[in-house]
Structure formats: C-alpha cells, structure tokens
C-alpha cells in the first residue's frame, strides 16, 4: 500500500493513538507542500513584484556594478487597488433563507446574528486581507473561530478573523471545490514566543514544527526567540446505514418490522477534529463544533493544467509589460541625464598646452577655450567642433507608451477604470468603458462571493451548537440598526394565531446566498439624491415621501424628524404603513353615516327602555332594535363587500327585512291600559349602491 492510500484510509477511522496522529499529520503535510510548491513559488514572486521588486537579480546587480540606474515606476499597484477598492465598496453580503421546517422570522434572526458576528469580529478586515492576496498572488484565506464572550463567561461566540500570511496555510491537495469545502484536512501555522509557549505548555518540549516550504522560509519566519506550532484540522468519517420508512421519516436504527422500510443506504457521520502540535508531539486535541473545516480560501484564477492546480492573480499578467515600462523609463533617464556630453573634434596639437582646460570643457562652465591655430606639423588647423549625437528619445517615449498600453490590455482595465481622462467624453461612455474593466476582472469578485457564502454556511452550521441555550443575542438589521432578541426561549410576544413566539436556533435548516452590490450607506445616499430630484420636479411628493427622504439623510436628529413627518402622512399612507388595507373615501363616508345611525338607534332604545314598565313593552322594544341592528349589519356588509353580487344580495335581504318590519302583527301598538306604549320611529335609511372596493 502506498503512502497516499494509507493516508486517506486513516481518514475514515478514529485515530486515538497520538503517535499515529502525529505520523499521519507529517505525511499529509509533505503531500501538501509537494503538490503546492509551484503555485507558492509563483505567488511569492508575484507578491514581491507587486510591491516593487521588479528587476531580475542578475540584471540589477550588473547595472549597480556599472553605477547605472534601475528605476522602478510601479504601476501594478494602481491596477490592483482599482480592483481591491472596488470590492471594498461593493463587498458581498450574506443572506439566509429558510428551508424545510425552518421559519422566515428565524432565518432573519440568523441573518442578523451573522451581521453581528461580522461587525463584532471586524470581518471586513479578514475579507479585505484575503482579497488583497487573492489579486496580488492568486490566493488568500479567511478563518472562522469560536471564543468565550468574556473572561468570566461560559457563553461562546463566533468570530471571523484574517489570515495575515496565506503561505502559513496548507490544504488537502485533493480538494476540488473552489471553496475547498470537500477538503479532508488542513494545516495553519502559528508562531509563539518561547515564554508564551512555556507558560501555556509547561510540560512540552520547545521543538519547532520545522517544515520549510515556499513562502514561510524558516530563515524569514523563525529565530531563537519563537516556537512554531501547527494547528491541524482533519475529518473523521464513520460509516453508518440510514433507513427511510414508509411514512417518509428517516431513522438510523433498523426497525424490527422490516415491512416498514421503504429505502436504505450507506452513508457516514462526519466529525472535524482539531489538533495543536509541534514537530515532535501533540499539544492539544479536541472536536471542532462544526462539520466544516473553518478555513476558507479566496482564489484568483483557478485552472487545472496537466493534472495540477494552477492559481494566479492579476500581477502574473503584468510582469512583462511592467518590466518593459521600467526598462524604457530607465533608458530615457540614462540617455538624457546621465549620458556623456557631445565630444570636441580637434586636430592633433591644436590644444597643446591647454589640455586641462579642454578636459573640463564638458563638466565645467569655462568662459573661454583657448586653442592653437596650427596642428603638430605647423599647418593651419580648422576651428574645434562638437560632434553632435541625437539620442533616440522619441523612439523610447513611444516604447514607454506602448508598455503602458500593454499593462492596460493585460489587465482589461483602461483609463476610465483608473480615473484617468480618456477619449470618451460622455458620462455614459465613460461608465461603459469602466464596466468593461469590471467585467474583465469579475472572477475576483465572484470567487470572493463563493468564499463568503461558505463562511456563511460555516456560521449557520455553528450557530445551533454555539447558541444552544436560552440567551439574549444582538442582531443587526440591514440598515445597521441593532436589536436585542431572546432566542431558544419564549419572547413574550404572540403570533397571529395567539401562539407564543420562540426563535429556536437549534432546529431547522437554512440556505445561504450572497448578494454583491453597494453597502447600505451607499444605497441610502443614492436614495436621498433620487428623492431630492423627484421632489424638486414634483413638490407635491414631499407630503407623501418626506419622511423617507429625511430618514435617508445622514445628519443629527434625522430619524426623529422622519418620525414626526410620518405622523403627518395621509390616512391611506399610514394604513399602508400599518399593513392595513386602504379604505375608499366613499365607503369611509358611508361607514361614518352608518355609525351615526347606530348612535341614533341606541339613543332611541335607551329612551324606550326607560319609559317601559311591562315585560311586553320591553320585548317589543328589543324586537324593534333587533330589526334595526339587522338593517345596520346589512348596510355595513354592502359597504365593505368586494363583490357586486354580494351587494345586490344584501339589498334584497334589506328589502325583505323591511317588508317583515311593516307586517301588522309585528308592528301593532301594544296597549298599556289607557295609554299606548310609545312607538320607536322607523329610521329612514337611504341605501346607495356601494361601489366595489
């Protein structure tokens, strides 16, 4: 059995023996280092090139020996910053959506909690650092960790932190996914001072994890005062069988009645292990809470060539154009400023006796130059003359301009994208050219979105395990306002069905999507500008959107002013704000008229009740009031109905009711001895044909 097969067979079984874990880790690290050596060599060269190390060492040494200049006009940073800073302004954001048995409200809690995690742990630093290395060298990394909230607390929280040096990370070379979510193991180094190491591990030997590879050379990263330790994540997979029953449920224990089994298949339980080690021993070992390795790559161009992974950033394509630019700029400077002055042409013996004066003719500023009018043979000699030599400055300038154009062509970023003036004159043309540059390098943004999506997936996987008890958490809404929410316990509120709300983070499944675009603050400013332009064109809109306009502005008391303006909105708009259905003005007037009629009927009832002394009178009064109430209910039905058929039916019932009310046997006066009981006047109700709402 070869080493590679042995290494991967171990991934499916638990490794309790520390010596076996250490041996397997060292073998796996060697595989990582060998597989990634070329990528690391090129990436390290790209990063150094991007910060200014752009002359080849032999050429630079030769020119320095001859006291010749080696100018570096580093234009690569301009192109790199153009992409990196655009991503910073339009950083992808994590969105959580509910699936299966989860709820939309709980998904919003998840999303707000992830925003809180990003804010509290300064995740933007982690994203920006990874993007910078991605564009410069082809790969960067983002890391997710868990830690206690406070020194005196048992509650933990999730943090997203940066990986300062991507060369300290080594991933499983057999991972195929762009986010390495299918990797079986990963290493990340940490340098500790010897004092810190001894304080944390007093019984351990201060032995370095002395594996030297590209980008983390021991000469550059190690000294006598530090100890290098490695964090090693690996996945254990335990086979198991699951059963789907005829009722659709899935169980792991085989039921005794096999007729209940609909399907069965082999799968596995996946557990991530974490080990901290030196090159000689295991320092710590524990289970990681989640099912994913919490280190996420941010890749540049990711290609597979001849069975090997090929990673590159923007710098790779700019190397040769940048070298050309440096060379021709240096040549111009050398030719113009450092080239010798034009020499003098004189006859032999013509400057005899004045040699010192003529030797300084090109370096000093003599007022006169004396010469002999005859040569060495005594013959008359012509005047001394300069030999003028015109250097090819114009050709060098053209070559420099061509190198500058090659830099733009190799990156796809032209003058409009760099903020320089170009031949485009209209704003639309400038925007179109800028968008061409963004499209040419969109793969950097897209790969970052994939990485952040996996970060969100890791957080969603960790949240039920870290926030697994009743507690109060802080969530952040899309407008950056925050709120304290009770989770895993009754919130004290009820839903529309009268059931207590509980945001249970330990149940349900959720999906992650990523949106890329301007930040909320940028959108808010754009909204304010748009609303201002709209209200200037149509001032009447101010009464409808004034509160939104003020709320989108960034000044003191803007929110308070918006709340005051909201109270001045028309009733229809306020109804929409509350989620109510707006009422038609005609229907509202009819409802007010009906309300007045009800008040009149109520007053008549009270009067009749006070004057009645017998039960018969009281019964008759109640019957009349019942008729009046039925009339009013039918009128209200007509006013609020959305169907013409219902309105016509209500009119027919109202007519039938009136016919019954006018029947003699029901409406005859009831004798009270010598006097008659007072009759309640029948209300005269005009029933207009209500319009459908």
The predicted pLDDT at position 169 comes to 95
CB-based contact 403:324 (threshold 8 Å): yes
The answer to whether residue 626 is domain-embedded is yes
The mean pLDDT value for 463-482 works out to: 89
The predicted pLDDT at position 672 comes to 42
The mean pLDDT value for 1-30 works out to: 67
Report how far apart, in Å, the C-alpha atoms of 164 and of each of 141, 169, 298, 530 are: 9, 10, 13, 41
The predicted pLDDT at position 521 comes to 60
H or E element in which residue 161 lies: strand 156-162
In this predicted structure, the answer to whether residue 11 has a pLDDT above a threshold of 60 is no
The answer to whether residue 651 is domain-embedded is yes
Q: Residues, the chain, total?
A: 693
Are 541 and 596 found together in one domain?
no
The predicted pLDDT at position 611 comes to 65
Provide the pLDDT confidence category of residue 389 given band limits of 50, 70 and 90. Answer: low
Are 573 and 589 found together in one domain?
no
The mean pLDDT value for 111-139 works out to: 94
Q: How many separate domains does the chain show?
A: 2
The predicted pLDDT at position 43 comes to 95
Token reading at 613:
């002394």
CB-based contact 285:274 (threshold 8 Å): yes
The string of pLDDT tens digits covering residues 168-190 is: 999 999 999 999 999 999 999 88
The predicted pLDDT at position 533 comes to 78
The mean pLDDT value for 476-496 works out to: 84
The string of pLDDT tens digits covering residues 44-100 is: 999 999 999 999 989 999 988 888 889 999 999 999 999 999 898 888 889 998 887
Are 667 and 613 found together in one domain?
yes
Report how far apart, in Å, the C-alpha atoms of 482 and of each of 112, 347, 577 are: 8, 91, 21
Higher pLDDT: 560 or 462? It is: 462
The string of pLDDT tens digits covering residues 135-173 is: 999 999 999 999 988 877 788 899 999 999 999 999 999
Closest CA to 457 of 401, 410, 509, 413: 509
CA distance 271 to 240: 13
The string of pLDDT tens digits covering residues 664-682 is: 444 444 444 444 444 444 4
Average pLDDT, the chain: 79
Q: Give the three-class secondary structure for 586.
A: helix
The mean pLDDT value for 29-36 works out to: 91
CA distance 633 to 199: 83
Report how far apart, in Å, the C-alpha atoms of 296 and of each of 30, 34, 448, 507 are: 21, 21, 10, 25
The predicted pLDDT at position 332 comes to 87
Q: In which residue are the tokens 């590679």 written?
A: 4
The interaxial angle of helices 76-89 and 442-466, nearest 10 deg, is 40
Which range, 281-285, 339-343, 571-575, 680-684, has the best average confidence (pLDDT)? 281-285
The answer to whether residue 636 is domain-embedded is yes
The mean pLDDT value for 444-457 works out to: 93
The answer to whether residue 547 is domain-embedded is yes
CB-based contact 318:410 (threshold 8 Å): yes
The string of pLDDT tens digits covering residues 250-297 is: 888 888 888 888 898 998 888 999 999 988 889 999 999 999 999 999
The predicted pLDDT at position 431 comes to 62
What does 601-624 look like in DSSP terms, one character per residue? HHHHHHHHHHH--SHHHHHHHHHH
Of all residues in the chain, the percent with pLDDT exceeding 70 is 71
Domain limits at 534?
520-578
CA distance 334 to 332: 5
Q: In which residue are the tokens 């909690």 written?
A: 113
Are 597 and 662 found together in one domain?
yes
The predicted pLDDT at position 619 comes to 58
Are 572 and 593 found together in one domain?
no
The string of pLDDT tens digits covering residues 253-266 is: 888 888 888 898 99
The last residue of one of the domains, among 557, 578, 599, is 578
Provide the pLDDT confidence category of residue 215 given band limits of 50, 70 and 90. Answer: low
Of all residues in the chain, the percent with pLDDT exceeding 90 is 28
Instruction: Return the DSSP state at 682.
Output: P
The answer to whether residue 195 is domain-embedded is no
Q: Which of 21-35, 331-345, 386-400 has the lowest mean pLDDT?
A: 331-345
Are 593 and 661 found together in one domain?
yes
The answer to whether residue 459 is domain-embedded is no
The string of pLDDT tens digits covering residues 582-631 is: 555 665 666 667 667 777 767 776 676 666 555 555 555 566 666 666 66
Are 603 and 668 found together in one domain?
yes
The answer to whether residue 545 is domain-embedded is yes
Are 602 and 549 found together in one domain?
no
The answer to whether residue 597 is domain-embedded is yes
The last residue of one of the domains, among 546, 578, 610, is 578
Rounded to two decimals, the pTM is 0.68
């Amino acid at each position: 059995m070869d080493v590679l097969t042995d290494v991967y067979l171990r991934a499916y079984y638990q490794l309790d023996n520390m010596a076996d874990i250490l041996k397997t880790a060292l073998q796996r690290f060697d595989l990582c280092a060998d597989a990634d050596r070329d990528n690391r060599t090129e990436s390290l060269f790209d990063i150094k090139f991007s910060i200014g190390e752009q002359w080849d060492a032999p050429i630079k040494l030769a020119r320095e020996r001859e006291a010749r200049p080696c100018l570096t006009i580093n234009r690569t940073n301009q192109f790199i910053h153009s992409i990196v800073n655009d991503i910073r302004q339009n950083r992808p954001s994590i969105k959580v959506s509910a699936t299966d048995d989860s709820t939309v409200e709980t998904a919003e809690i998840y999303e707000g909690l992830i925003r809180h995690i990003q804010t509290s742990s300064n995740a933007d630093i982690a994203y920006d650092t990874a993007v910078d290395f991605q564009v410069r060298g082809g790969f960067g990394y983002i890391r997710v960790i868990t830690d206690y909230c406070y020194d005196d607390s048992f509650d933990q929280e999730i943090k997203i932190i940066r990986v300062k040096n991507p060369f300290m990370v080594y991933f499983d070379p057999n991972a195929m996914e762009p986010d390495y979510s299918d990797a079986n193991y990963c290493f990340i180094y940490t340098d500790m001072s010897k004092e810190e190491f001894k304080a944390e591990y007093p019984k351990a030997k201060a032995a370095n994890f002395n594996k030297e590879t590209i980008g983390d050379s021991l000469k550059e990263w190690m000294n006598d005062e530090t100890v290098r330790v490695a964090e090693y994540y690996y996945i254990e997979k335990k086979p198991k069988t699951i059963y789907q029953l005829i009722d659709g449920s899935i169980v792991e224990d085989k039921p005794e009645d096999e007729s209940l089994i609909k399907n069965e298949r082999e799968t596995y339980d996946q557990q991530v292990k974490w080990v901290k080690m030196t090159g000689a021993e295991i320092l710590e070992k524990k289970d990681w809470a989640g099912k994913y390795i919490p280190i996420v790559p941010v890749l540049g161009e990711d290609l597979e060539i001849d069975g090997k992974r090929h990673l590159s950033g923007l710098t790779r394509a700019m190397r040769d154009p940048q070298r050309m630019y440096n060379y021709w700029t240096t040549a111009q400077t050398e030719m113009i400023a450092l080239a010798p002055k034009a020499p003098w042409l004189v006859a032999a013996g013509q400057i005899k006796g004045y040699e010192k004066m003529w030797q300084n003719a090109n370096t000093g500023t003599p007022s006169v130059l004396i010469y002999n009018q005859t040569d060495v043979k005594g013959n008359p000699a012509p005047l001394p003359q300069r030999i003028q030599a015109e250097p090819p400055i114009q050709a060098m300038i053209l070559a420099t301009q061509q190198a500058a154009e090659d830099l733009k062509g190799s990156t796809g970023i032209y003058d409009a994208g760099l903020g320089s003036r170009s031949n485009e004159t209209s704003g639309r043309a400038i925007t179109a050219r800028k968008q061409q540059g963004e499209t040419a390098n969109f793969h950097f943004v897209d790969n970052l979105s994939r990485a952040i999506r996996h970060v969100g997936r890791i957080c969603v996987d960790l949240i039920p395990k870290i926030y697994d008890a009743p507690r109060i958490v802080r969530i952040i809404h899309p407008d950056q306002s925050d709120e304290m929410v009770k989770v895993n316990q009754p919130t004290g509120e009820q839903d529309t069905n009268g059931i207590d709300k509980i945001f249970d983070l330990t149940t349900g499944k959720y999906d992650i999507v990523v949106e890329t675009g301007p930040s909320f603050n940028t959108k808010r400013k754009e909204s304010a500008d748009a609303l201002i332009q709209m209200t200037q064109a149509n001032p009447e809109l101010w009464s409808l959107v004034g509160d939104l306009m003020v709320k989108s502005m960034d000044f003191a008391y803007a929110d308070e002013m918006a709340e005051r303006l909201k109270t001045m909105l028309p009733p229809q708009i306020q109804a929409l704000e509350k989620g109510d259905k707006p009422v038609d003005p005609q229907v509202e007037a009819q409802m007010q008229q009906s309300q007045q009629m009800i008040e009149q009927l109520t007053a008549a009832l009270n009067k009749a009740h006070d004057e009645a002394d017998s039960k018969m009178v009281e019964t008759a009064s109640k019957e009349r009031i019942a008729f009046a109430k039925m009339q009013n209910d039918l009128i209200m039905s007509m006013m609020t109905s959305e169907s013409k058929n219902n309105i016509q039916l209500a009119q027919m019932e109202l007519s039938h009711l009136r016919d019954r009310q006018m029947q003699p046997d029901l409406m005859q006066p009831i004798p009270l001895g010598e006097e008659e009981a007072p009759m309640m006047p029948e209300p005269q109700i005009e029933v207009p044909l209500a319009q459908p709402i």
